């Protein structure tokens, strides 16, 4: 089994990752403190690397980090690595969802996908990346109250084509972009 510290001060996020990884292969613990890492990379991979490297330099132990976001085909460059800041730093998740729905109001192309890039930073010479994606589309209204962020408007294509992530959080937990990246990492480290 390999132990990693999660590049996040959020213990709930560490718990979520612990559920996604096979515990006989990968154990994830929360970082003892939250570090401020400037995420100014131009890709999910760059930002995941910056977080992992920053925590590694401070804690001197194997680190796992993730960078995730929503890509919307009709709004190239507006979300993606900027998903958490879409519309401005001061908007709540609910306001960001409303802004997204407003921007897509007259748009026929509602294709979208979530991306999760995991960076396993074991040491400066040993760094691994795994990417998972969930393809689907953006609904025309908020559906469900589970999940977080853009979950109430994201309809994954592999469910039933009409149920949002927020309406079926158990399905999301097993089939999301984050879950897919974690499965790939477990397969790799479990060999």
Question: Which residue spans within 52-168 are E strands per DSSP?
Answer: 63-72, 111-123, 126-138, 154-156
Cα Dmax for the chain: 51
- Using a 10 angstrom Cβ sphere, with 0-12 exposed, 13-18 middle and 19 or more buried, the burial of residue 76 is exposed
Contact 185, 6 (CB under 8 A): no
Q: What is the side-by-side strand order in the sheet with 2-6?
A: 26-30, 2-6, 63-72, 111-123, 126-138, 154-156
- What residues act catalytically? 67
Distance CA 62, CA 80 (A): 27
């Amino acid at each position: 089994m390999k132990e990693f510290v999660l590049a996040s001060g959020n213990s709930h996020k560490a718990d979520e990752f612990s559920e996604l990884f096979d515990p006989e292969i990968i154990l994830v613990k929360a970082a003892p403190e939250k570090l401020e890492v400037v995420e100014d990379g131009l890709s999910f991979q760059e930002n995941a690397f910056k977080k992992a490297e920053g925590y590694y330099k401070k804690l001197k132990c194997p680190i796992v980090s993730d960078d995730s976001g929503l890509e919307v085909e009709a709004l190239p460059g507006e979300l993606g690595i900027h998903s958490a800041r879409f519309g401005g730093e001061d908007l709540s998740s609910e306001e960001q969802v409303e802004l997204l729905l407003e921007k897509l109001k007259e748009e026929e192309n509602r294709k979208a996908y979530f991306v999760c890039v995991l960076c396993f930073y074991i040491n400066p010479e040993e760094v691994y990346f795994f990417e998972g994606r969930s393809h689907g589309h953006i609904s025309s209204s908020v559906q469900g109250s589970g999940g977080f962020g853009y979950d109430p408007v994201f309809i994954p294509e592999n469910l039933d084509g009409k149920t949002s992530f927020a309406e079926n959080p158990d399905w999301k937990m097993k089939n999301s972009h984050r879950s897919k990246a974690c499965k790939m990492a477990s397969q790799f480290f479990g060999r």
